[in-house]
Structure 1
Amino acid sequence: MRVTQSMLAANSLKNLSKSYSNMGKYQDQLATGKKINRPSDDPVVAIKGMFYRTNLTEVEQYKRNLNEGYQWMESSEQGIEHATQVTQRIRELLVQGNNGSNSTEDLKAIAVEIGQLKEDLAGVANTQVAGRYIFNGTKTDSKPVTINGDGTISVAMNTEAFNVEVSKGVQLKVNINPTNVFGQEFFNTLQSIEDSLNSGNMTNGDELLSKLDGHFDVMSAERSEIGARYNRLEMIDARIQDQEIIANRILSENEDADLERVITDLTIQESIHRASLAVGSKVIQPTLIDFLR
């Protein structure tokens, strides 16, 4: 096969172009810290990267859902705690009013305080988190408790579970059953206590005290139930955090460049390129002008 000068020149230019391409690839990796900068650089890495990034995005969304779950549960638990403290105070006042040694004015004074505590409980029942009522099931845009003009309390609560997706296919209830804490029967009992004190007739005091203790027990049970779900939420949170670490590590191993190796390869390629330039300069055939100089 006859090799001509044009063939040598073409091969030299082709090799120089390939050398420039390799140098450009290593320089891009060094500048971006990534193995590839476009899918055509390595389709396999690109496809795996899409899958790993989707997985990481899902984990990050679950973390945001968990934060919402924490917010709901902590606010609900705080509301129950406040309700139990207020109920305990109402019980103390009821026992005080039921001892038979109080005057009519004393009973009315106790009734006034119980009325204020009753309205305070109504305010807690209307607690909002991020503009949503947390004690009204899935109807988070509606106020569950209304204070009427005559001081009575009207309750219209939704008891459906408000669920949050905390991992793939796993829904966790983050609200409570509000009727177990702020139900109409509970406020009716408080109203009966207030009315009896205002009337000065405490013959049904023991019965009212028994009803109040029953409501207190239901509150405590609801608090224990949400505490158990909170513990589960913390365990899921720990697992999600582990998944995030693993997902980030896998994504990094798939896409991030080994900078030490890239620097070494770039240095080697630069040496190869210089040698290619030196060889290419000798490919040019001397002309008659070179001999006439």
Structure 2
Amino acid sequence: MRVTQSMLSNNMLRNLSSSYNKMGILQEQLNTGKKVNRPSDDPVVVMKSLGYGMTVDKVAQYQKNLGEVNNWLDSSDDALDGVGQVLHRAKELATNAANTGAMTPEDRDKIKIEMKQLREQLQDLANTKVGDKYIFSGTATDKPLYGENGYPELSTDNTPPTINQTAYEKQVEIEVFDGVNLRVNTEAGAMFKQIDEVFKGIQDSVDNNTDDFDFSGAISSIEKNLDKVLTARADIGARSNRAELMDNRLQMQEGAAKKQRSENEDIDYEVVITELITSESIHRAALSVGARIIQPSLVDFLR
């Protein structure tokens, strides 16, 4: 086959264009730090990067959810700590009020005033909020546990959960991992209601100066509710520990996903720079050889 001058020229121009294109790709990789900058560069790498990116975003959302979990648990623990302090003081007042014969009218007035304040403090704790959500109201987070009509109808602690539960008695869960939900609310509505009734009984007894009120029973009820508060706080502590373990797990998964994404799409700068220098040298050599291949034209002779 006869090789013509036009064939040599066309081949040279095609090879030069390919060399320019390769150097352009390498230069773009150095500018962006990525192996691919558009899906057409390598669809497989792009799809893998999208998958790793979705994993990183999902982990970030779960970490935000864990922050919400910790807010609920910390606020619940602080509120129950306040309930414990109220109960301890109420027990002291109930013990003093039981000595009806030794109390003066002034003593009764002081106990009545303080019991009223303790009861109001308990009601405030029952309406503790995280952001705009009431944390002791079950799934009825937009409604206070203690409202204008007092506490809602709640089942006793000995009644097993049924499908007829009110929203105040249902659990609030937040997803912290694929298929893993953590309960964030503390079922304390019945306890708040029972304590409020005990306080009301002591307050009414002191107010009416009656001697037939069962103070020993009230003190016993306060002690039982103190135990319930401790049990609830222990449960909160256990859930906080689990939330911390989930946070560690999410951090590990986030690190693994970011590492895989980096290995999949990030360039090795040393390798790309070496390839660019090599391509540039080859391109210069091709230009030099091409200048020798192309025949001189009439213009060259005129110069």
TM-score greater than 0.5 by the shorter chain: yes
For the Cα contact (< 8 Å) 1:83–1:181, is it kept in 2?
no
Aligned length: 288
**Does the Cα contact within 8 Å between 2:145 and 2:189 map onto a contact in 1?**
no
Q: Distance in 1 between matches of 2:207 and 2:240?
A: 42
Q: Take 1:81 and 1:112, find their aligned partners in 2: how far apart are those partners?
A: 22
Query: What residue number does 1:121 align with?
Result: 122
Give SS of 1:201's match. coil
> SS at 1:164's partner residue?
strand
Contact preservation (8 Å) 1:133, 1:142: yes
Please give the residue correspondences for 1:1-293 in structure 2 after superposition, counting only pairs within 5 Å. 1-100=1-100, 101-146=102-147, 153-155=150-152, 158-182=168-192, 184-203=193-212, 204-291=214-301
Identical amino acids, percent of aligned pairs: 43
Deviation at 1:178, TM superposition (A): 2.2
SS of residue in 1 equivalent to 2:267:
coil
Instruction: In structure 2, list runs of 5 or more residues that go unmatched.
Output: 155-167
TM-score (norm 1): 0.93
Compared with structure 1, are the counterparts of its residues 33 and 217 closer, same or farther at alpha carbon in structure 2 (3 Å cutoff)? same
Secondary structure of the residue aligned to 1:171 is strand
TM-score by length of 2: 0.90
Report if aligned partners of 2:137, 2:189 keep a CA contact under 8 Å in 1.
no
Distance (whole Å) between structure 2 residues aligned to residue 12 and residue 51 of structure 1: 42
Which AA in structure 2 matches 1:266? L
Distance 1:176 1:159 in 2: 10
Provide the C-alpha distance between the structure 2 equivalents of 1:22 and 1:156, rounded to a whole number of angstroms: 75
Give a deviation string over 1:232-277, Cα, whole Å, max 9, x none.
Answer: 1111111111111111111111111111111111111111111122
Stretch deviating more after TM superposition (166-175 or 155-164): 155-164
1:80 to partner: Cα distance: 0.6
Distance 1:275-1:211 versus aligned 2 partners, 3 A rule: same
Q: Is contact 1:108–1:200 with CA below 8 Å preserved after alignment?
A: no
Alpha-carbon distance in 1 for matches of 2:298, 2:31: 47
Aligned equivalents of 2:131, 2:203: Cα separation in 1: 34
CA contact (8 A) 1:118 1:187 kept: yes
Contact (CA 8 Å) 1:119, 1:147: kept in 2 or not? no
Residue 147 of structure 1 deviates from its aligned partner by 5.5
The root-mean-square deviation of aligned C-alpha atoms, in Å, is 1.6
**Residue ranges of structure 1 left out of the alignment (5+ in a row):** none
Shift of 1:173: 0.4
Change (3 A) 1:97 1:289: closer
Secondary structure in 1 matching 2:181: strand
Moved over 6 A (4+): none
